[in-house]
Amino acid sequence: MIVEVDEAARLLSAGRVVAYPTETVFGLGADVFEPRALEALRALKNRDPDRGLSVLVRDLSTLEPLLSGIPEAARLLAERFWPGPLTLVLAVSDSAAFSGVATELGVGFRCSSHPTAAQLARLVERPIASTSCNRSGEEPCASTCEVRQRFGPELPVARGRAGGLAPSTVVAISPAGELRILREGAIPANDLFTVVG
C-alpha cells in the first residue's frame, strides 16, 4: 500500500517495516530499538543477522547522544556531505542498544537529502534502521512499482520517487579519526580525503 509520509512515520513508530525513497534507491526502514521490527526487516530482505544495517538520522546533532564523542574527521565529512549519499560508520557509546544493526566497526549512520527520507527521520522519534529495498543478492528497487512487484501490496511504501544516484559511499572512522573506505559510491573517496586532509 502506498502511504503519505506522516502515515509511514506512524507505522514505523508502531513497529512496522516501511519502504521509502531516498536520493539513491528505495530503502527499507524499521525502528532500531524494536527487535521484532528488525527481525521482520531482515526476513523481508533475507539478510544474514550478522550483517549490519545503516541507521537513518535527522542530522549531525542526532549523533551527539548516541556516541561517546564524534571524531573530528566525521564532523568535517558530515558538515560537508550531509544531507547526502554518505554513510559514516562510527563507534557508539552503547553497543548493546545497537546490537541489531552494529558490526565490529560500529554503526553506519546516514542522513538522506531526499525530502521523504528526511521527513521520516524528523517525524520518527527514534533512529530508523535502514537498508536498500531488495532481497539479498538482487538489485535494489528503483521505483514504487518495483517495490510492489517484489514485496507485494501489503508492504507500506512512502509516496515519492527515488533520486537514482549511485549508492552511498560508506566510510568507517575510528575514534582516533582514521578513515577506511568500505564502499566507494556517489561521493568519490578522493573528495573525502580532500575534506579531512
Domain boundaries, the chain: 2-196
Q: Rounded to the nearest 10 degrees, how much is the dihedral formed by the CA atoms of 186, 8, 45, 74?
A: 40
Q: What is the per-residue pLDDT for 133?
A: 96
DSSP-derived secondary structure letter, 33: T
Give pLDDT < 70 ranges for the chain.
Answer: none
Q: What is the per-residue pLDDT for 64?
A: 87
Task: Quote the CA–CA distance of 7 and 114 in Å, as a whole number.
Answer: 17
CATH fourth-level superfamily of 2-196: DHBP synthase (3.90.870.10)
Ordered DSSP codes for 97-140: TTTTT-BTTBEEEE---SHHHHHHHHHSSS-EEEEESS-TTSPP
